[in-house]
């Protein structure tokens, strides 16, 4: 439940240490061991995810407990779509590393994305669990979901998951969906996954069990409830009272695991688990945002709020509180969601809808208009590049697309993403990097190129250690007595990093301070985040002297898990690129200088 509680997860040594206690508890037939967020997080704080998965799955296999993971179909383990050859390698690698079950989901519930993954998983020897991404809208009816499950079963899915990622599925409707699936194929395994934040989860669990559900996802204290799952002890007691046969819980082992989890929180994970994520909140019913996303949202929101309030102070306007911004964001998500065709709010589309809503809120707070910042990745969703939306796109958005010369598409999404493994093999050979057992390092690099390069260089670990040190210092030190620099050792190399607090910008990472002289006009960062010259290895970075046209992509800013394209406002020539690739920039920092042509 770490991704749902906060931004990071335990280190591999902590995971291996807690595994025996989880096993000894005796109540789990399955443990979720890895997935999309897991591997990127490993890379972000400098661990090899391939090693982590192999070590973490091993004790459960030895105990006869199945391991399962989450995968994003066309997107594999990342936010963006994958090439076909990378998707096929994905399942071979995960099976070799010890993962038994893959929970395949498409954020659009597009069968064209899910069905190939069912086949790839089965070919690799994995159990293919096809997911129904549950949400609540006029187009997401009981019949819609039952018919989708029937299609997946006919295509060879071994199991069906009801992925109620925001916990907003209504209990009675969920029971009807399970009953419909079981009526079609009585022996199909059905597993229910629900976050508890909006408050429906216990009623939903009872309803799906009464209808024949086989497995229930649960969590344990201190990670249960809130944006996590319902607690194992409460679920067990409820189901026993309802007459179901459920396993007993070894309470000594439970308390041992609980103690270890608290120690992990105290060590460093608690610094990335916002308090609001630990409680139920019925405000989540309206926006329908998923627990997995809420884990990082509240941390990211701190930076957005700080940046927005800095602008408001500069312009003589009253500042906003976290609650003010959160309510505005939730209201805007509810407004934006139907406009863009009711995509189920799950990764990456929950981030797309939330980011678009947050951009709109920020723009309107600054007196600008909605939709002025509409990244290409979100357009890809709206235009059908990543799959078919469940609902109709609003005419307002269609008109905006037409005005920008964008076209809707209906072709198989996979055709938009050509094979890539040969390209990454060549890059690894050039860098002198090993492909790894079962080509697992090749897989990791091709799946997460930017994060993998930062991991290999040591930059990722250095940045994580600096951020953690800042958070610890801010909590422990008196105001005005905070360290301004930290030295982090990574692979024998010392990195001296500047630390900023609140609205400060550290000299070493300030785009303005680091800028070489250049003529022309400033292109400024519209949001805070990480400056990237390219979004992946398929692009050539812009350089000084390049001539660009209005609307051409100049660079990207990675914010809230999305690479947001920064485009030229006019025809011109680049005279300076101010930050270095991977630098953190603040909203309104100059990032590129251009002269008009």
DSSP letter string over 140-183?
--HHHHHHHHHHHHHTT-SEEEEEETTS-S-HHHHHHHHHHHHH
Residue 433 lies in a domain: yes
Are 536 and 423 within 8 A, CB to CB? Answer: no
The SS3 call for residue 592 is: strand
- Per the structure, the complete domain to which residue 441 belongs is given by 420-457
Residue 514 lies in a domain: yes
Q: Same structural domain for residues 295 and 362? A: yes
Q: Same structural domain for residues 379 and 444? A: no
Per-residue pLDDT at 478 = 61
Contacts of 141 (CB under 8 A, 6+ apart): none
Q: Report d(CA 3, CA 10) in Å as an integer.
A: 10
* Burial status of residue 481 (CB atoms within 10 A of its CB: 0-12, 13-18, 19 or more): exposed
Are 287 and 330 within 8 A, CB to CB? Answer: yes
CATH number (domain holding residue 364): 1.10.472
Per-residue pLDDT at 376 = 84
Q: Same structural domain for residues 424 and 398? A: no
Q: Same structural domain for residues 380 and 451? A: no
Q: Same structural domain for residues 427 and 488? A: no
Are 333 and 293 within 8 A, CB to CB? Answer: no
Per-residue pLDDT at 501 = 53
Are 593 and 520 within 8 A, CB to CB? Answer: yes
Per-residue pLDDT at 3 = 65
Largest CA distance in the chain: 76
Q: Same structural domain for residues 495 and 548? A: no
Are 102 and 91 within 8 A, CB to CB? Answer: yes
Query: What sign does the dihedral 466-471-476-479 (CA atoms) show?
Result: positive
Q: Same structural domain for residues 496 and 511? A: no
Q: Report d(CA 28, CA 218) in Å as an integer.
A: 9
Per-residue pLDDT at 464 = 86
Q: What secondary structure does DSSP assign to 501-520, as a single string?
A: -TT---GGG-HHHHPPP--S
Residue 96 lies in a domain: no
Q: Report d(CA 304, CA 302) in Å as an integer.
A: 6
Residue 341 lies in a domain: yes
Per-residue pLDDT at 474 = 81
Per-residue pLDDT at 110 = 95
Phi, psi (5° rounding) for residue 121?
-65, -45
Quick one: tokens of 455? 């991991």
Are 442 and 427 within 8 A, CB to CB? Answer: no
Strands 159-164 and 189-194: parallel
Q: Report d(CA 542, CA 551) in Å as an integer.
A: 14
Token pair 């819980």 is found at 249
Q: Report d(CA 445, CA 454) in Å as an integer.
A: 11
Q: Same structural domain for residues 558 and 488? A: no
Q: Same structural domain for residues 530 and 577? A: yes
Domain boundary among 167, 196, 217: 217
Contacts of 408 (CB under 8 A, 6+ apart): 383, 384, 393, 401
Residue 553, strand partner residues: 567
Q: Report d(CA 178, CA 145) in Å as an integer.
A: 9
* Burial status of residue 164 (CB atoms within 10 A of its CB: 0-12, 13-18, 19 or more): buried
Q: Same structural domain for residues 519 and 556? A: yes
Peptide bond into 13 cis (omega under 30): no
- Give which of 462, 427, 467, 466 is closest to 444, Cα–Cα: 427
- Give which of 174, 267, 287, 283 is closest to 226, Cα–Cα: 283
Are 383 and 359 within 8 A, CB to CB? Answer: no
Residue 69 lies in a domain: no
Query: What sign does the dihedral 175-150-90-58 (CA atoms) show?
Result: positive
Number of domains comprising the chain: 5
Q: Report d(CA 222, CA 207) in Å as an integer.
A: 25
Q: Same structural domain for residues 563 and 478? A: no
Q: Same structural domain for residues 339 and 432? A: no
Residue 42 lies in a domain: no
Quick one: tokens of 430? 């050039």
Provide the CB-side half-sphere exposure for 149 (13 A, CA): 31
Residue 98 lies in a domain: no
Find the DSSP H helices in 340-439. Answer: 349-365, 376-383, 395-403, 421-431
Q: Per-residue pLDDT tens, the chain, 597 aa: give them.
A: 676 777 788 999 999 999 999 999 999 999 999 987 788 788 888 899 999 999 999 999 999 999 999 999 999 998 889 999 999 999 999 999 999 999 999 989 999 999 999 999 999 999 999 999 999 999 999 999 999 999 999 999 999 999 998 899 999 999 999 999 999 999 999 999 998 888 999 999 999 999 999 999 999 999 999 888 999 999 999 999 999 999 999 999 999 999 999 999 999 888 888 777 777 777 777 777 666 556 556 666 777 788 788 888 988 999 999 888 888 888 998 899 999 999 888 878 888 888 899 889 988 998 989 998 888 888 999 999 989 999 999 999 999 999 999 999 999 999 999 999 999 999 999 999 999 999 999 999 999 998 899 899 988 888 888 888 888 888 776 655 666 665 555 555 555 555 655 545 444 333 333 334 468 888 988 877 889 888 766 677 898 888 898 888 899 988 766 778 888 888 999 999 998 888 888 877 899 999 988
Contacts of 399 (CB under 8 A, 6+ apart): none
The SS3 call for residue 225 is: coil
Residue 18 lies in a domain: no
Q: Radius of gyration over alpha carbons of the chain, in Å?
A: 24
Number of CB atoms found within 10 A of residue 429's CB: 11
CATH number (domain holding residue 577): 2.40.50.100
């Amino acid at each position: 439940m770490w991704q749902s509680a906060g931004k990071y997860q335990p280190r591999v040594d902590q995971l291996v240490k807690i595994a025996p206690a989880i096993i000894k508890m005796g109540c789990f037939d399955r443990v979720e061991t890895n997935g999309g967020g897991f591997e990127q997080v490993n890379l972000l704080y400098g661990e090899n995810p391939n090693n982590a998965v192999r070590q973490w799955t091993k004790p459960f296999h030895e105990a006869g407990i199945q391991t399962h993971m989450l995968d994003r179909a066309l997107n594999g383990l990342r936010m963006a779509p994958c090439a076909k050859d990378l998707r096929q390698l994905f399942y071979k690698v995960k099976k070799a590393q010890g993962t038994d079950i893959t929970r395949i989901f498409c954020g659009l519930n597009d069968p064209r994305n899910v069905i190939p993954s069912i086949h790839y998983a089965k070919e690799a020897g994995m159990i293919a669990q096809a997911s129904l991404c549950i949400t609540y809208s006029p187009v997401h009816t009981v019949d819609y979901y039952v018919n989708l499950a029937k299609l997946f079963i006919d295509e060879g899915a071994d199991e069906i998951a009801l992925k109620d990622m925001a916990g907003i599925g209504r209990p009675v409707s969920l029971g009807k969906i399970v009953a419909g699936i079981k009526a079609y194929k009585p022996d199909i395994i059905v597993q229910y996954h629900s976050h508890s934040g909006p408050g429906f989860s216990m009623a939903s669990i009872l309803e799906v069990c009464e209808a024949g559900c086989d497995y229930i996802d649960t969590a344990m204290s201190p990670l249960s409830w809130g944006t996590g799952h319902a607690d194992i002890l409460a679920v067990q007691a409820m189901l026993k009272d309802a007459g179901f046969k459920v396993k007993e819980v070894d309470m000594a082992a439970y308390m041992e695991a609980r103690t270890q989890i608290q120690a992990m929180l105290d060590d460093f994970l608690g610094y990335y688990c916002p308090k609001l994520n630990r409680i139920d909140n019925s405000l989540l019913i309206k926006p329908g945002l998923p627990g997995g996303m809420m884990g990082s949202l509240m941390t990211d929101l701190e930076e957005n709020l700080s940046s927005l309030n800095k602008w408001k102070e500069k312009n003589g306007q009253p500042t906003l509180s976290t609650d003010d911004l959160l309510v505005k964001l939730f209201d805007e998500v509810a407004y934006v969601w139907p406009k863009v065709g009711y995509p189920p709010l799950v990764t990456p589309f929950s981030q797309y809808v939330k980011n678009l809503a947050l951009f709109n809120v920020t723009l309107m707070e600054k007196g600008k208009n909605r939709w002025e910042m509409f990244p290409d990745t979100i357009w890809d969703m709206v235009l059908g590049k990543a799959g078919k939306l469940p609902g109709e796109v609003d005419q307002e958005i269609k008109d905006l697309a037409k005005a920008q010369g964008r076209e809707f598409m209906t072709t198989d999404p996979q055709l938009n993403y050509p094979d890539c493994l040969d390209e990454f093999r060549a890059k690894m050979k050039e860098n002198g990097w090993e492909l790894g057992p079962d080509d697992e390092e090749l897989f990791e690099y091709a799946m997460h190129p930017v994060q993998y390069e930062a991991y290999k260089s040591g930059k990722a670990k250095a940045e994580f250690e600096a951020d953690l040190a800042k958070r610890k210092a801010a909590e422990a030190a008196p105001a005005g007595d905070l360290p301004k620099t930290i030295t982090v050792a990574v692979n024998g190399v010392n990195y001296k990093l500047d630390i900023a607090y609140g609205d400060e910008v550290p000299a070493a990472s300030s785009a303005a301070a680091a800028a070489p002289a250049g003529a022309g006009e400033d292109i400024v960062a519209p949001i805070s985040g990480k400056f990237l010259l390219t979004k992946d290895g398929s692009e050539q970075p812009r350089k000084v002297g390049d001539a660009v046209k209005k609307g051409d992509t100049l660079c990207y800013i990675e914010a809230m898990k999305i690479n947001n394209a920064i485009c030229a406002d006019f025809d011109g020539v680049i005279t300076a690129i101010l930050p270095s690739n991977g630098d953190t920039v603040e909203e309104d920092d100059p990032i590129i200088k251009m002269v008009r042509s």
